């Protein structure tokens, strides 16, 4: 049997506490909810689960606490065969949590995330994770842990020849010195607008933002555009990949993570950038049809069946 391609993910795990309601309460108001569910989340962990379910030798680099939410993390990774040799158990800090509002009307979400122990992930922690990064085909990180830690990870992955992906989520102010470390930068519309200062609502605007990110030093940009799909721009040219049709959107939370985990695995398999974007779009389209984040990540059989239909 061929070895699975290795994908190293630097990021956070948090427990997602998801509330369904018709709308968000205003300040000082209490409203009745339409449902609640807790489950595994955190962009890095969601991406590692997405990559693992799609077929990667997926490796997680993070910090969690020795508590109930930390146990949820370990159970989740064990269930999906994620390599946890670079997961540090923090003796003094708790595992983080996210408040997630999911609209019963649209399935769209709004999130407050507290990174907990992972907020103290350091460049030294990344250096200690060198064994899981060194032979990875792809390295991916986000911005839920400190940016200097993300940069240390990108640098180390570059040193070892991995393809580097920065999923710059959530949108935070960032120094442009990070972009030359990225083979791919994968913001959504809001993040692309925040990174470039440009409006990103149309395909043409997304292309202008992608060009701006490449001018800052990234080799390629993939702007994810929700139900419109994703725009790839870079070394291989420009391509708009339409989203897969979805009969009923249940919950969009984690769709970006599904895309990024799938995109990372596809590049690790040696798929072309265009095919990798299509593969990521398939994961995103499947994930929004189920509630939750990590629990909504599709299997490889589901992904292949959807791709075969197009």
Which residues are known catalytic residues?
A: 257
Q: How far is CA 247 from the centre of its chain?
A: 24
Instruction: Name the helix (H) or strand (E) containing 76.
Output: helix 68-79
CA distance 115 to 172: 14
Q: How far is the CB of 15 from ligand RIB (least distance, A)?
A: 8
User: Which pair of structure tokens corresponds to residue 77?
Assistant: 């990774």
251 near ligand RIB, judged by CB under 6 A: no
List binders of ligand RIB among 131-190 (CB under 6 A). Answer: 144
Pick 97 or 276: Cβ nearer ligand RIB: 97
CA distance 105 to 65: 35
CA distance 244 to 104: 22
Task: Name the residue with the smallest CB distance to ligand RIB.
Answer: 41
What string marks each residue from 81 to 100 as x (binds ligand RIB by CB under 6 A) or -? -----------------x--
Q: How far is the CB of 131 from ligand RIB (least distance, A)?
A: 26
Q: How far is the CB of 254 from ligand RIB (least distance, A)?
A: 5
Q: How far is the CB of 39 from ligand RIB (least distance, A)?
A: 9
Q: Strand, helix or coil at 112?
A: strand
CA distance 14 to 2: 33
Number of residues assigned to the chain: 310
Backbone torsions φ then ψ of 101, nearest 5 degrees: -95, 125
List binders of ligand RIB among 266-305 (CB under 6 A). Answer: 293
What string marks each residue from 12 to 31 as x (binds ligand RIB by CB under 6 A) or -? --x-x---------------
In the β-sheet with 184-185, what is the strand arrangement from edge to edge?
83-90, 57-65, 6-10, 138-141, 163-166, 184-185, 220-224, 229-234, 237-242
Span from 42-50, 68-76, 195-203, 277-285 in contact with ligand RIB (CB under 6 A): 42-50
CA distance 52 to 238: 29
Q: Strand, helix or coil at 307?
A: helix
Which residue from 10, 20, 46, 196 is in contact with ligand RIB, where contact means CB under 6 A?
Answer: 46
Span from 27-35, 177-185, 224-232, 252-260 in contact with ligand RIB (CB under 6 A): 252-260
Secondary structure letter of residue 188 according to DSSP:
B
Q: How far is the CB of 82 from ligand RIB (least distance, A)?
A: 15
Residues near ligand RIB (CB under 6 A) are 14, 16, 41-43, 46, 98, 111, 113, 144, 253-254, 256-257, 293
């Amino acid at each position: 049997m061929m070895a699975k391609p290795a994908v190293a993910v630097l990021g956070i795990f948090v427990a997602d506490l998801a509330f369904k309601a018709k709308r968000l309460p205003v300040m000082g108001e209490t409203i009745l909810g339409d449902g609640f569910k807790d489950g595994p989340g955190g962009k890095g962990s969601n991406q590692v689960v997405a990559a693992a379910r799609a077929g990667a030798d997926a490796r997680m680099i993070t910090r969690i606490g020795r508590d109930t939410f930390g146990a949820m993390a370990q159970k989740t990774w064990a269930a999906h065969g994620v390599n946890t040799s670079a997961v540090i158990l923090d003796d003094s800090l708790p595992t983080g949590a996210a408040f997630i509002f999911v609209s019963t009307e649209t399935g769209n979400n709004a999130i407050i995330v507290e990174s907990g122990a992972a907020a103290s992930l350091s460049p030294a922690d990344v250096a200690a994770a060198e064994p899981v990064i060194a032979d990875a085909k792809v390295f991916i990180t986000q911005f839920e842990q400190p940016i200097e830690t993300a940069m240390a990870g990108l640098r180390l992955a570059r040193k070892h020849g991995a393809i580097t992906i920065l999923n710059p989520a959530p949108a935070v102010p960032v120094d442009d010195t990070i972009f030359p470390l990225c083979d791919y930068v994968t913001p959504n519309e809001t993040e692309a607008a925040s990174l470039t200062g440009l409006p990103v609502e149309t395909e043409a605007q997304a292309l202008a933002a992608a060009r701006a990110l490449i001018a800052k030093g990234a080799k390629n940009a993939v702007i994810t555009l929700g139900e419109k799909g994703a725009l790839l721009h870079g070394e291989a040219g420009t391509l708009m990949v339409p989203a897969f049709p979805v009969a009923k959107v249940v919950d969009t939370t984690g769709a970006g993570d599904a895309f990024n985990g799938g995109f990372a695995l596809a590049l690790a398999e040696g798929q072309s950038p265009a095919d990798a974007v299509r593969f990521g779009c398939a994961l995103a389209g499947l994930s929004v049809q189920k509630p939750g984040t990590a629990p909504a990540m599709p299997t490889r059989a589901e992904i292949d069946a959807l791709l075969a239909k197009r």
